[in-house]
Amino acid sequence: MEKYLINPNQKISKINKDIYGHFSEHLGRCIYGGIYVGEDSKIPNVNGMRCDVVNALREMGLPVLRWPGGCFADEYHWKDGIGPKKDRKKMINTHWGGVVEDNSFGTHEYFELCRQLGCDTYINGNVGSGTVQEMNEWVEYMTFDGVSPMAELRRKNGQEKPWNIKYFGVGNESWGCGGEMDPDYYGNLFKQYNTYVREYNNNKIKRIACGPNSDNYKWTGIVMDKVKHKAQGISLHYYTLPNGCWDNKGSSTDFNRNDYYRTLCRAYKIEELINNHIAVMNAVNPQQWVQLVIDEWGTWYDVEPGTNPGFLYQQNTMRDAMVAAMSLNIFNKHADRIMMANIAQTVNVLQAVILTDAEKMVLTPTYYVFKMFKDHQENTLLGSYLTTEYIESKELGKSFPQLIESASVDENGVIYSTIVNTSATRSSKIKCQIADTRVKNIRAEILAGDIHSKNDFDNSNVVKTEEFTDFKKFSDGFTVTVPPCSVVKLVVE
Ligand code: AHR
């Protein structure tokens, strides 16, 4: 029997709802077809946004959406995506499949999408191929309420009032697709571009500097040193590639148990990365002005056979649900230093929460994890500790915990605990004690399946959350048996 302690007296920090954020790029069928179908589509839509997708995302609880990229952001020229659609420039999406980008989804459409989703905004600016003036004018266009050329242009295009930008990314992957820069050079560019990201009408903008890829600690140190007085966040990108290489990443559905454990072991690396990057950040900036933003994370497999290799379309199984639940519990546990995280990429791309095929829509196992975890948003993280066995990935010579959990409390004193059991075969019995608490009532739900279980367009309801009753309440805690390959959420009143 594993021992689990939750300590409501140890209130660690608020869990920023933006840890549950998403990322949608002009890539494959994420925006076009997946979210935006245009006003003339037969698919039910409001101002071009698919009603089914918007409703599902609202129910799941999507707090913030990063756009327009990714690599696409550093080739995006915002003026191509405003004004009458028939006049908008058509261009080649060179990064993603070489298809025509008709710019029918632009700034106005993005803010309309966020309005429908009820979410906050995270715009990623173009440092790689854009000018300082272009970035400056975009911010003026979006947020200035007075008399100015850009505010007038916005009004001419139908938007009287300015919008609000919560986060603004100054470049994306500037070490790679965003310009192949050195950290020193990027750090200087950040300062230059960021100077002209002006704040109008009390719109306080949180500025995100381009941070490292995976374990590039050198990048973090050098960039932090340059940006610490001006940035509120520094980004980290980490993708889980089952085979650890780009030319043969592995299939999203056709995998064996070793592949499953290897994938989870690689996903668990995020904890080490968070700890180490935060240590570097703290060394450079002990005052901790700058927070960590994991604005691209998730699984990355070979594309589904027969689909455009540049579209990054992959299926999603219970393996992905395990990666998501593991990662979100880890993010919660570091809520004091993580300001935001954005899974890549919402619909039809990489570890998507939704898949679409024309008018059909499927919710993936990852979707249900986000929906289960949404109760943690804006709660207070509690001190908690759970004993666990470790699972070894023999090929990697490394191990990871079978059980990973986090616990939070809302403003009414209700405690939420999410526990993931990553074992493919072994259930786990847990005895939980909640310090100084009299438990009145517990309800629970579960997401469970075989490691290969998935939802597809023929069988869309194979994986879904269900009520869970395999627990026993005590005066100051509970016992619970968590099945293999499952996520259990307990709500303790
Ligand atoms: O999410 C897909 C791509 O991965 C993004 O465009 C880029 O930032 C990263 O390399």
**Is 219 a residue whose pLDDT tops 90?**
yes
Q: Does any ligand 1 atom lie closer than 6 A to the CB of residue 344?
A: yes
Angle at CA of residue 72, ends 216 and 182, nearest 5°: 30
R_g of the chain, CA atoms, integer Å: 22
Residue minimizing CA distance to atom 5 of ligand 1: 70
Contacting residues for 443 by C-beta, under 8 A, at least 6 apart: 467, 490, 491
Mean pLDDT over 450-473 rounds to: 97
- Do 311 and 355 meet the contact criterion of CB atoms below 8 Å apart? no
Q: Tens digit of pLDDT for each residue in 4-56?
A: 999 999 999 999 999 999 999 999 999 999 999 999 999 999 999 999 999 99
* Closest ligand 1 atom to Cα of 69: 6
CA of 347 to the centre of ligand 1 (A): 14
CA of 23 to the centre of ligand 1 (A): 10
Q: Which long-range CB contacts under 8 A does 157-163 form with residues at least 24 apart? A: 157/82, 157/83, 157/108, 158/108, 159/108, 159/111, 162/200, 162/201, 162/203, 163/111, 163/121
pLDDT number for residue 387: 98
Sign of the dihedral defined by the CA atoms of residues 305, 306, 309, 314, in that order: negative
What is the distance between the alpha carbons of residues 421 and 486, in angstroms, rounded to a whole number? 6
Q: Looking at this protein, which amino acid is placed at residue 167?
A: Y
CA of 102 to the centre of ligand 1 (A): 20
Q: Does any ligand 1 atom lie closer than 6 A to the CB of residue 25?
A: yes
Q: Which of 173, 389, 392, 493 is catalytic?
A: 173
DSSP string, 291-305: EEEEEEEEE--PPPT
Q: Which of 296, 359, 378, 392 is catalytic?
A: 296
* Closest ligand 1 atom to Cα of 239: 4
Average pLDDT over the chain reads 97
Number of H-type helices and E-type strands within the chain: 9, 26
What is the distance between the alpha carbons of residues 209 and 193, in angstroms, rounded to a whole number? 11
405 is catalytic: no
Q: Tens digit of pLDDT for each residue in 130-176?
A: 999 999 999 999 999 999 999 999 999 999 999 999 999 999 999 99
Q: Are strands 291-299 and 338-344 parallel, antiparallel or unpaired?
A: parallel
pTM over 0.95: yes
Residue minimizing CA distance to atom 6 of ligand 1: 70
Q: Tens digit of pLDDT for each residue in 109-134?
A: 999 999 999 999 999 999 999 999 99
- Do 7 and 382 meet the contact criterion of CB atoms below 8 Å apart? yes
pLDDT number for residue 410: 98
Q: Give the residues across from 347 on adjacent strands.
A: 354
Q: In angstroms, what CA-CA distances link 50 with 24, 69, 103, 113?
A: 15, 20, 18, 10
The structure tokens listed for 49 are 């946004």
Mean pLDDT over 337-350 rounds to: 98
